[in-house]
Amino acid sequence: MTSFERFYAVIKRIPKGKVATYGQIARLAGLPRHARQVGFALAALPERARVPWQRVVNASGEVSAREHPNSQAIQRVMLEREKIEFDQRGRISLAGFQWKVRERRTARPS
């Protein structure tokens, strides 16, 4: 399994209406400090893949810039369509919209 596929698997679990950061994806995939690789994986993502790539934003809660600015706008529209709100500066409140998930846990909490 490639690291890309591990990232995709995590991203697929992001619920509609929530977002996750690149670093968060990397950590959940078991590959800490691979945030940049996550972005790279998304850039390489084939259009046909059913991966909610639009739900991945940077640690500041904004849609990251990229080579083709167009898809950036598309991403925002897709998120707004999921009822995610942007402030005047184009940022999402992570406090309210970030996907919070329990990290892997080995022991059972009684």
Partner DNA sequence: AAACTGACTAATA
Partner DNA sequence: CTATTAGCCAGTT
The footprint of DNA (CB under 7 A) covers 2-4, 21-24, 33-40, 42-45, 53-54, 56, 58-60, 64-67, 71, 75, 89
Q: Show the tokens assigned to 65.
A: 């810039």
Phi then psi for residue 91, to 5 deg, are -115, 150
Contact 21, 34 (CB under 8 A): no
CB of 100 to DNA, least distance (A): 15
Pick 17 or 60: Cβ nearer DNA = 60
Q: Show the tokens assigned to 1.
A: 């399994």
Q: Is 105 strand, coil or helix?
A: coil
Pick 54 or 108: Cβ nearer DNA = 54
CB of 20 to DNA, least distance (A): 9
